[in-house]
Chain A
Amino acid sequence: MGDKENPGGRVGRHPVLDKFTGGREVVIFVDGEPLSAREGEPVAAALYAAGRRVTRYARHTGEPRGPFCMIGLCAECCMTVDGVSNVRTCRIPVREGMRVDTPERSSG
């Protein structure tokens, strides 16, 4: 679920950098849908690259939340990964076939 246009996306040509995290292209499953990602990059980065900014919904208000710090401090990026809840997706590297799910709204 998310934006019509992709607000994120991958960086194309860069004047200084030529190497980024993440290796070969693999498929992960986000809320059951296949999404192509790079092995080893943080799951949150893969989601952003695909234009998906929402990682969870606030427990009481139901408002959308997304990654805020990208270094494991804020917990805004928590999702359910391979059945384990509250995993910080900015810290967990992509593995082939990984299942990433939006947390149940009630258990936020």
Chain B
Amino acid sequence: MSLPLEEREMAVVGCGPAGLCAAITAAKTGADVVVLDENDRAGGQLIKQIHRFFGSRRHGAGKRGYEIAGELERESEAAGVEMRLGNTVLGLFPGGEMMVEDRDGVYVLRARAVVVATGASEKGLAFPGWTLPGVMGAGAAQTLVNLHGVLPGRRVLMVGAGNVGLIVSYQLLQAGAEVVGILDVSERVGGYEVHRLRVQREGVPFYLGHRVVQARGRYGVEEVSVEEVGGASRKVFRADAVCLAVGLSPLAELAAMCGCRMVYSRELGGFMPWHDGDMRTDQPGVYVAGDAAGVEEASVAMEEGRMAGLSAAEDLGAMGRKEAERAKDEVRRFLWELRGGPYGEAKRRAKESVHCA
């Protein structure tokens, strides 16, 4: 059986901030670009972010995530990007061939340039009872509550006091759930001060230096016991949901599948395709951007997307080398700024070691 084959100049996998910026940037140089996403809405993680972002104007500071997603979507349309939602890329093969599933079946798409911008997946945390219904990723809870308007539970224990744990806790409160506590093995709150203060003002207790011992229940979580790390104190919560906000890993199996060399970085969340500062992988015609190239944040994902779009346009001949370099210099400057400060510094060093790996 032969599958229908479609040939395109450039294909982007993932309609998050990274993929959309890659697509917009390349399309503006005149390249023919199609972007695919398995979701039926464009914007990736941004569509469930209902808080206002920080950062600079260029990256949509002061706007809510879903508003930024809407703007990027309109910009893509204006740039002539073809957006294919509800299309899952099942496989990517050397030579830029990908197998895609849509509502009607499976087809093959071949592109001279492919940008992998598939984002990240949530890490799990194993403890007795972690497989019970009601234990879920914090991102899963966020999807339920902010996209579908459904509560993951009435009384939620949040595991992880990084930004994701803090933000999702606040969003659960906004939706009317009770957050019985935010727990972290670390003695410190990892997330930003503003996010911490928001939940603390609502009276949510923090259990720092604590870990989950066990979740129990018949058809799902009913209670959770926790203990102080290395200490004697124990506590049992009545809770019907446990949300895990214990980190994200790059989701880049497609790149691995087509032969990209993978490298590890603890700081950036795990294995990711090796790439240079221009977001080229070691496979010709394959680029990577955003969380799939190491977990950072939306503004970095946008700049990396722009960089990947410029490299692809340059390699496709849609843009001259000099012109591309000028545009890339600007992106490099923004990336440098974004990776400033104590949080960014560590990410920058990790990125540099990926480039050299």
Contact = CB atoms under 8 A, between A and B. Distances in A.
Given A14-B175, A66-B220, A69-B140, A8 B132 contact: no
A2 B219 contact: yes
B151 interface: yes
Contact of A67 (B38, B121, B136, B174): B136
Given A17-B146, A70-B140, A54 B220 contact: yes
A54 B148 contact: no
Main secondary structure of the interface of A (DSSP, over half): loop
A41 B148 contact: yes
Interface residues of B, number: 36
A49 interface: yes
A68 to B, nearest CB: 5
Interface of B: 38-39, 50, 64, 121-122, 124, 131-137, 139-140, 143-154, 174-176, 218-220, 240-241
Contacts of B146: 17
Nearest to B147: A21
B133 A55 contact: yes
A14 B135 CA distance: 24
Contacts of B145: 11
Given A69-B121, A69-B122, A53 B133 contact: yes
A1 B219 CA distance: 8
Given A54-B220, A73-B121, A45 B50 contact: no
Which of A7, A9, A64 gathers the greatest number of chain B CB atoms within 10 Å?
A7
Interface size classification for chain A: 35 or more
Which of A2, A41, A70, A71 gathers the greatest number of chain B CB atoms within 10 Å?
A70
Interface of A: 1-3, 5, 7-17, 20-22, 41-42, 45, 48-49, 53-55, 58, 63-73, 91
A71 B140 CA distance: 7
A15 B136 contact: no
Which of A13, A48, A73 gathers the greatest number of chain B CB atoms within 10 Å?
A48
A67 B132 CA distance: 10
B149 A68 contact: no
B134 A7 contact: yes
B244 to A, nearest CB: 9
Contacts of B153: 7-8
Contacts of A8: 150-153
Nearest to A45: B148
Given A9-B154, A45-B144, A65-B133, A15 B220 contact: no
Contacts of A58: 131
15 contacts: A2-B220, A7-B220, A8-B151, A14-B176, A16-B64, A17-B50, A41-B148, A42-B148, A64-B219, A65-B131, A68-B124, A69-B139, A70-B136, A71-B143, A72-B38
Contacts of B151: 7-11, 48
Contacts of B152: 8, 48
B176 to A, nearest CB: 6
Nearest to B217: A3
Given A14-B174, A16-B64, A53-B134, A64 B148 contact: no
Contacts of B135: 68
Nearest to B142: A70
B292 to A, nearest CB: 14
A16 B148 contact: no
A87 B150 CA distance: 21
B149 A20 contact: yes
Contacts of B149: 10-11, 14, 17, 20-22
B89 to A, nearest CB: 13
A15 B133 contact: no
